[in-house]
């Protein structure tokens, strides 16, 4: 419809290639997730030390480096952010074999975190007898850590899907920008865990004076 | 897609294929229309709920409704109006208008857009299904009766038996996910899909305001979802978040709810601002006064509105210091809002104003929203709030904002953009009758509420004694409703009549300046035959006045 007047140069167009939109979309989704977790974390902080009956976090949480305990699992989860970064870097350089290797390692580390969390929960529920309805600590702990684990699970499903597609040869270096968006989400899940860990296992676990 | 198909052969399209076309659509115009139609249906439902309450309250000691029915009605009225009237009409208008105004083919993620609509749709059904399923297997239907802000611990299983509160949680939760996804969609669309030449500062203000609105949705709706999950866990898994006997806190719910609830008010009113910001310049035949200031004021409102929520909790008994801080921050909202007010008025001053129906409604919005804003400043003052909190004064105040403000802005928008959507003009005579009936009915109803509030009438009571002196003012409030119903009926008549018999509109009936008026009415599925190119904030002005284009001055 509009023809530019002769005096005007036609202005620059936005790239409109879909990837920019995807980046904005994922960034916005992560902002809304931060608002969601922020609320759960606020509720957790609000209730620290308000329990009127035990077991208290100090009795239950084990922050040692022992296998399948939380610190051990956290290291696996956090290091997976490095693996996924290496995977994307390999893909950018067109090395699909290396991509599959690092990507599979990411999936394995994420799976270790989930399995470890499962063992931790098993111990807490069966041995220590703490569940949602036990006390405020139980309600807060399982809600916050549970929602994080749920997000890890969702992430793992998408990661596995990409892995399967890559093994079937449907992922090529041309798709790198889209696959990169998956890694954004994974970095978010890892990043939020650092905060959850400090709130639940350090700050909420201080010895009672 | 359908644009590429040859035109259908003679004969009407069978009903089922037309239905399928709408159900399976990812087109922003169809989805926008569906949002708005659903919103209007729920407007009728929630309006009837209000009418029944006003019948019960018209005089002291009436027995039209039982107390339990009354509690359900005010809960469903408030919840429906906010989540299933306000939100869909706003998201629907944004759906229809934003891509057209920024010269885009569709939203950034059309399928996500359709998904969001259906989440909203089924979420709303879930809420209303509570009338049948609320008591589960007990066999008796009942809707939620905990008020639209559902204060804990009233919502705990101890006090709210059956499943009505669970339906309240799930219905809003599901619809909320849809709204959040739509917000993501709009931000990506507005930032990434603008046409050639449309820099951010050349964007129509409607797009700017919707951008800020969507950022607010992004920040405010997830906390509500999280709070509702805590409540759901309390009710279904035996958690103790709001269980005061186990150390839980009712105050946490209030904080979380209003951290969502106050921004929600701005999420609702900002699109109203957007409509009048587009309409007033066109009917004043002037550019909007202070475009950059309007952008700045919108962004400022967005920022301030997430830091004022405690003003809903002044009577809870927080520390005086906290109350004072939030009183200050609430007053601060008046500054950017005032800037907008002055900009709209300054746009009208010296213009050649045409009082067509859209402009009438926009002017009505200015006057009535101003009154609602002023009583808002009263209520922000802690000692004043202590006197009238939870009284009919508050009810009157927020209806001046949301009805006198938002609904009037929505009517302005309907009369303004209906020709674009349907290709036909709405009837001006009926429109003006409707306007005056609504103005009179609205001010009788909600003006009188301020007085009954001052006389001490608390909100949410289902009846009152004759010796309180509230009868006259309540009767006035209820009589106003009859006038309003007349107005709304005229609107329904006008809508149906104009849809089939209205005068043909043409592409640009108002001689307007934004891109949606450059395409046909209704627009083709692909919106524009050629990708638009803009050089100024009023691309159509440049086209119509090549000798004196705007881009020379911007
Ligand atoms: Cu507020």
Residue from A3, A8, A17, A25 to probe the interface with B (highest B Cβ count within 10 Å): A25
Q: Could you tell me which residues come within 8 angstroms of residue B148 by beta carbon, excluding any fewer than 6 positions away? A: B74, B75, B78, B79, B82
Copy the structure tokens of residue B266. 């701005």
CA B497 → CA B38, B411, B422, B477, distances in Å? 19, 16, 12, 30
Q: How far is the CA of B311 from the centre of ligand 1 (A)?
A: 6
Enter the pTM of the model: 0.94
Strands (E), B191-277: none
Q: What is the pLDDT of residue B139?
A: 61
Q: Which of B233, B239, B533 sits opposite A2 (nearest CB)?
A: B533
CA atoms in the 13 A half-sphere facing the CB of A88: 17
Q: How far is B458 from chain A (nearest CA, A)?
A: 31
Supply the angle between the helices B250-284 and B408-422 in degrees, to the nearest 10.
60
**Spatial contact of B365 and B404, defined as CB atoms under 8 Å apart:** yes
Q: How far is the CA of B79 from the centre of ligand 1 (A)?
A: 16
Q: Beta-carbon neighbour count of residue A52 at 10 Å? A: 10
Q: Burial code of B208-222, b = ≥16 C-beta within 10 A, e = fewer?
A: bbbbbbbbbbbbbbb
Q: How far is B386 from chain A (nearest CA, A)?
A: 27
Residues 254-283 on B with a CB inside 8 Å of A are 256, 259
Q: Which of A28, A38, A53 sits opposite B218 (nearest CB)?
A: A28
**Spatial contact of B250 and B154, defined as CB atoms under 8 Å apart:** no
Residue from B260, B535, B552 to probe the interface with A (highest A Cβ count within 10 Å): B535
Q: What is the pLDDT of residue A136?
A: 95
ipTM of the complex as predicted: 0.93
CATH number among 2.40.50.140, 1.20.120.80, 1.10.3720.10, 3.30.9.10, domain A66-203 = 1.20.120.80
Task: Say how far apart CA B275 and CA B278 lie, in whole Å.
Answer: 5
Interface contact flag, A11 B226, Cβ < 8 Å:
no
Q: Which of B189, B194, B226 sits opposite A40 (nearest CB)?
A: B226
Q: Which residue of A has its CA nearest to B217?
A: A32
**Spatial contact of B102 and B195, defined as CB atoms under 8 Å apart:** yes
Q: Domains along chain B?
A: 26-536 (1.20.210.10)
Q: What is the pLDDT along chain B (554 residues), one digit of tens a residue?
A: 444 555 555 567 888 999 999 999 999 999 999 999 999 999 999 999 999 999 999 999 999 999 999 999 999 999 999 999 999 999 999 999 999 999 999 999 999 999 999 999 999 999 999 988 877 666 666 899 999 999 999 999 989 888 899 999 999 999 999 999 999 999 999 999 999 999 999 999 999 999 999 999 999 999 999 999 999 999 999 999 999 889 999 999 999 999 999 999 999 999 999 999 999 999 999 999 999 999 999 999 999 999 999 999 999 999 999 999 999 999 999 999 999 999 999 999 999 999 999 999 999 999 999 999 999 999 999 999 999 999 999 999 999 999 999 999 999 999 999 999 999 999 999 999 999 999 999 999 999 999 999 999 999 999 999 999 999 999 999 999 999 999 999 999 999 999 999 999 999 999 999 999 999 999 999 999 998 999 999 999 998 998 888 888 87
CA B65 → CA B74, B164, B464, distances in Å? 12, 19, 13
Q: How far is B235 from chain A (nearest CA, A)?
A: 11
Band of the pLDDT at A209, cuts 50, 70, 90?
Answer: low
Q: Beta-carbon neighbour count of residue B301 at 10 Å? A: 24
Q: Burial code of B515-549, b = ≥16 C-beta within 10 A, e = fewer?
A: bbbbbebebeeebbeeebbbbbbbbbbbbeeeeeb
Residue A54 has pLDDT above 70, yes or no: yes
Whether B401 and chain A come into contact, CB under 8 Å, resolves to: no
Which one, of B259, B253, B181, lies nearest residue B218 by Cα?
B181
Q: What is the pLDDT of residue B134?
A: 78
Interface contact flag, A21 B238, Cβ < 8 Å:
no
Q: How far is the CA of B323 from the centre of ligand 1 (A)?
A: 13
Q: What is the pLDDT of residue B548?
A: 86
Residue from B246, B514, B554 to probe the interface with A (highest A Cβ count within 10 Å): B246
Band of the pLDDT at A127, cuts 50, 70, 90?
Answer: very high
Contacts of B539 in chain A (CB under 8 A): 2
| Each residue's pLDDT tens digit, A91-115 | 999 999 999 999 999 999 999 999 9
Whether B222 and chain A come into contact, CB under 8 Å, resolves to: yes
Interface contact flag, A35 B222, Cβ < 8 Å:
yes
Residue from A9, A20, A32 to probe the interface with B (highest B Cβ count within 10 Å): A32
Task: Say how far apart CA B258 and CA B263 lie, in whole Å.
Answer: 8
Contacts of A43 in chain B (CB under 8 A): 226, 230, 241, 252, 256
Q: How far is the CA of B263 from the centre of ligand 1 (A)?
A: 7
Q: Which residue of A has its CA nearest to B222?
A: A36
- A55-64 mean pLDDT: 89
Band of the pLDDT at A1, cuts 50, 70, 90?
Answer: very low
Q: Beta-carbon neighbour count of residue A121 at 10 Å? A: 17
**Spatial contact of B183 and B127, defined as CB atoms under 8 Å apart:** no
Interface contact flag, B530 A1, Cβ < 8 Å:
yes
Q: Please give the interface size between A and B, counted as residue pairs whose CB atoms are below 8 Å apart.
A: 146
- A84-89 mean pLDDT: 97
Q: Which of A3, A11, A21 sits opposite B192 (nearest CB)?
A: A21
Band of the pLDDT at A7, cuts 50, 70, 90?
Answer: low
Contacts of A177 in chain B (CB under 8 A): none
Interface contact flag, A39 B233, Cβ < 8 Å:
no
Whether B232 and chain A come into contact, CB under 8 Å, resolves to: no
Whether B248 and chain A come into contact, CB under 8 Å, resolves to: yes
Interface contact flag, A2 B238, Cβ < 8 Å:
no
Which one, of B336, B312, B282, B323, lies nearest residue B541 by Cα?
B282
Phi first, then psi, for residue A61 (nearest 5°) are -75, 135
Q: What is the DSSP string of B139-159?
A: S------STTTT-TTTTSTTT
Whether B530 and chain A come into contact, CB under 8 Å, resolves to: yes
Q: 3-state DSSP: chain A helix, strand, coil percent, rounded to 5?
A: 75, 0, 25
Interface contact flag, B230 A46, Cβ < 8 Å:
no
Q: How far is B188 from chain A (nearest CA, A)?
A: 5
Q: Which residue of B has its CA nearest to A5?
A: B546
Copy the structure tokens of residue B70. 């009354």
How long a stretch of residues is chain A?
209
Interface contact flag, B196 A136, Cβ < 8 Å:
no
Q: How far is B400 from chain A (nearest CA, A)?
A: 31
**Spatial contact of B455 and B468, defined as CB atoms under 8 Å apart:** yes
């Amino acid at each position: 419809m509009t023809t530019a007047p002769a005096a005007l140069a036609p202005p620059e167009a936005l790239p409109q290639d879909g990837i920019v939109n995807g980046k904005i979309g994922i960034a916005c989704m992560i902002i809304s997730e931060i608002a969601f977790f922020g609320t759960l974390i606020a509720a957790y902080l609000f209730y620290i030390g308000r329990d009127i009956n035990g077991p208290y976090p100090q009795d239950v949480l084990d922050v040692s480096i022992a296998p399948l305990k939380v610190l051990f699992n956290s290291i696996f989860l956090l290091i997976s952010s490095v693996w996924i970064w290496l995977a994307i870097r390999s893909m950018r350089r067109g090395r699909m074999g290396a991509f599959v290797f690092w990507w599979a390692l990411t999936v394995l580390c994420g799976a270790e975190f989930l399995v470890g969390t499962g063992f931790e929960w098993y111990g807490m529920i069966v041995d220590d007898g703490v569940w949602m309805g036990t006390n405020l600590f139980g309600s807060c702990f399982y809600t916050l850590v549970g929602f994080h684990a749920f997000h890890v699970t969702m992430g793992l499903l998408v990661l596995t899907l990409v892995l399967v597609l890559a093994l079937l040869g449907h992922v090529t270096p041309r798709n790198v920008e889209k696959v990169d968006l998956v890694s954004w989400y994974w970095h978010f899940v890892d990043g939020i865990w650092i905060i959850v860990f400090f709130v639940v296992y350090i700050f909420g676990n201080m010895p009672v004076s | 897609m359908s644009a590429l198909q040859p035109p259908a052969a003679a004969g009407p399209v069978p009903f089922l294929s037309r239905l399928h076309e709408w159900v399976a659509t990812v087109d922003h115009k169809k989805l926008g229309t569906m949002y708005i139609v659903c919103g209007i249906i729920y407007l009728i439902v929630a309006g009837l709920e209000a009418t029944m309450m006003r019948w019960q309250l018209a005089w002291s000691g009436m027995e039209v409704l039982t107390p339990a029915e009354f509690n359900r009605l005010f809960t469903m009225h408030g919840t429906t109006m906010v989540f299933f009237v306000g939100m869909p009409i706003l998201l629907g208008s944004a759906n229809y208008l934003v891509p057209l105004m920024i010269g885009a083919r569709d939203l950034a993620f059309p399928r996500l857009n359709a998904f969001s609509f259906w989440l909203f749709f089924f979420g709303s059904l879930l809420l209303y299904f509570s009338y049948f399923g609320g008591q589960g297997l007990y066999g008796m239907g009942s809707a939620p009766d905990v008020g639209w802000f559902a204060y804990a611990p009233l919502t705990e299983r101890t006090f709210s038996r059956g499943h009505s509160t669970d339906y309240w949680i799930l219905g809003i939760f599901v619809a909320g996910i849809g709204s959040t996804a739509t917000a993501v969609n709009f931000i990506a669309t507005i930032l990434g899909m603008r046409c050639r030449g449309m820099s951010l500062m050349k964007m129509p203000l409607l797009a700017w305001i919707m951008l800020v609105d969507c950022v607010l949705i992004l920040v405010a709706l997830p906390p509500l979802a999280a709070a509702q999950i805590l409540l759901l866990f309390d009710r279904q898994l035996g958690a103790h978040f709001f269980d005061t006997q186990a150390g839980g806190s009712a105050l946490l719910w209030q904080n979380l709810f209003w951290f969502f609830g106050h921004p929600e008010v701005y999420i609702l009113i900002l699109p109203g601002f957007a409509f009048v910001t587009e309409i007033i310049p066109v009917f004043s035949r002037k550019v909007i006064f202070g475009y950059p200031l309007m952008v700045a004021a919108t962004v400022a409102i967005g920022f301030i509105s997430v830091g004022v929520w405690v003003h809903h909790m002044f009577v809870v008994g927080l520390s005086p210091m906290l109350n004072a801080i939030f009183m200050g921050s609430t007053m601060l909202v008046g500054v950017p809002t005032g800037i907008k007010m002055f900009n709209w008025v300054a746009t009208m001053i010296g213009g050649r104003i045409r009082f067509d129906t859209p402009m009438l409604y926009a002017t009505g919005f200015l006057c009535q929203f101003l009154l609602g804003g002023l009583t808002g400043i009263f209520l922000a003052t802690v000692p004043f709030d202590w006197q009238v909190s939870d009284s009919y004064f508050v009810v009157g105040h927020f209806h001046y904002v949301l009805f006198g403000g938002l609904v009037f802005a929505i009517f302005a928008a309907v009369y303004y953009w209906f020709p674009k959507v349907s290709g036909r003009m709405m009837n001006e005579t009926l429109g003006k009758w409707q306007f005056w009936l609504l103005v009179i009915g609205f001010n009788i109803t909600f003006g009188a509420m301020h007085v009954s509030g001052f006389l001490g009438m608390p909100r949410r009571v289902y009846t009152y004694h004759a010796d309180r002196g509230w009868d006259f003012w309540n009767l006035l409030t209820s009589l106003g409703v009859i006038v309003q119903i007349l107005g709304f009926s005229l609107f329904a008549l006008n809508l149906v009549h104009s849809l089939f018999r209205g005068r043909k509109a043409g592409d640009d009936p108002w001689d307007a300046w934004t891109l949606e008026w450059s395409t046909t009415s209704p627009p083709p599925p692909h919106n524009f035959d050629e990708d638009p190119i803009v050089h100024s904030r009023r691309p159509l002005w440049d086209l119509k006045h090549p000798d004196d284009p705007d881009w020379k001055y911007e």
